[in-house]
């Protein structure tokens, strides 16, 4: 377990990284606490608002969730930058999506030291905050279950399936492979996935591959054929068709239009 570290990014924003005893003095006025906690591969990962009485307990330790970051932001600042007041769903918590989990893990395990580490972690915390508010505003965060058809265990397995798609979409993923790796049978996987994410496995896989391809087109000089192959498409024609349907332009035109803008 890494030693706890406090970083006062500004008078309105404080970051606590790691787990251990925590003193809550001199926090931003009317602070809202935003907890990110995660375990190893296949373990739970959660995001939730924690009330002032829970701040110390939230960082004291959890054997299943050794990784932790707690962001403190003044309530007036939260409102000013576009965040909304916490709801009951925020207090109950969400499954931590891959994109937020990746940012948090990068902040915790950077390999840097001293002042540079504090600056880096402060920057990653700001990125984490902004991305969280964006996903919350877009309504794509998945709430923790509240006694519906899906159990907590099954919802975590479905999040494992989603994380598998998010992080390994370039591989040849089949329904059988995903079901086996997340520990669900095919019927429960397909039914539960649609219930949690409002899309099918195939739709989520295609969206992730095309989103990754659009990013590569704008941030690399790779040929379009190589971008399509790395995104999981076996031939350029199928990649171009799928990309055009999703973004309204073929990959070559999309790259030219965006880079010229």
Average pLDDT, the chain: 87
Alpha helices in 49-185 (DSSP H): 55-60, 75-80, 88-92, 98-108, 114-138, 152-168, 175-182
Residues paired with 6 in a beta bridge: 16
Q: Is the model's pLDDT at 60 over the cut of 80? A: no
pLDDT of residue 154: 87
Task: Give residue-wise pLDDT tens across range 122-131.
Answer: 999 999 999 9
Torsion angles phi and psi, residue 179, rounded to 5: -60, -45
> Which pair of tokens denotes residue 191?
């039914």
pLDDT of residue 1: 47
Q: Quick one: DSSP state of residue 68? A: E
User: Cβ distance 10 to 29 under 8 Å?
Assistant: no
Span 165-183, pLDDT tens digits: 988 888 888 999 999 998 9
Which tens digit of pLDDT belongs to each residue from 204-237? 999 999 999 999 999 999 999 999 999 888 889 9
């Amino acid at each position: 377990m890494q030693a706890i570290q406090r970083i006062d990014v500004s008078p309105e924003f404080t970051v606590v990284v790691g787990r251990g005893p925590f003193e809550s003095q001199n926090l931003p006025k009317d602070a809202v606490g935003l907890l990110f906690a995660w375990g190893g591969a296949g373990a739970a990962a959660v995001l939730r608002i924690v009330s002032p009485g829970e701040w110390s307990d939230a960082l004291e330790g959890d054997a299943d969730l050794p990784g932790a970051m707690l962001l403190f932001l003044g309530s007036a600042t939260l409102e000013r930058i576009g965040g909304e007041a916490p709801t009951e769903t925020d207090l109950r918590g969400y499954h931590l999506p891959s994109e937020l989990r990746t940012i948090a893990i990068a902040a915790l395990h950077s390999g840097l030291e001293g002042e540079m580490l504090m600056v880096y972690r402060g920057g990653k915390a700001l990125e984490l905050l902004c991305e969280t508010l964006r996903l919350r505003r877009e309504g794509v965060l998945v709430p923790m279950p509240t006694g519906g058809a899906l159990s907590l265990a099954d919802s975590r397995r479905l999040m494992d399936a989603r994380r598998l798609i998010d992080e390994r979409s370039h591989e040849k993923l089949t329904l059988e492979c995903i079901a086996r790796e997340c520990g669900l049978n095919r019927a429960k996987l397909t039914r539960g996935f649609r219930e949690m994410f409002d899309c099918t496995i195939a739709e989520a896989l295609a969206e992730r591959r095309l989103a990754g391809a659009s990013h590569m087109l704008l941030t690399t000089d790779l040929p379009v054929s190589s971008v399509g192959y790395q995104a999981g498409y076996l031939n350029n024609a199928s990649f171009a068709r799928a990309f055009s349907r999703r973004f309204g332009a073929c990959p070559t035109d999309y790259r030219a239009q965006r880079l010229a803008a």
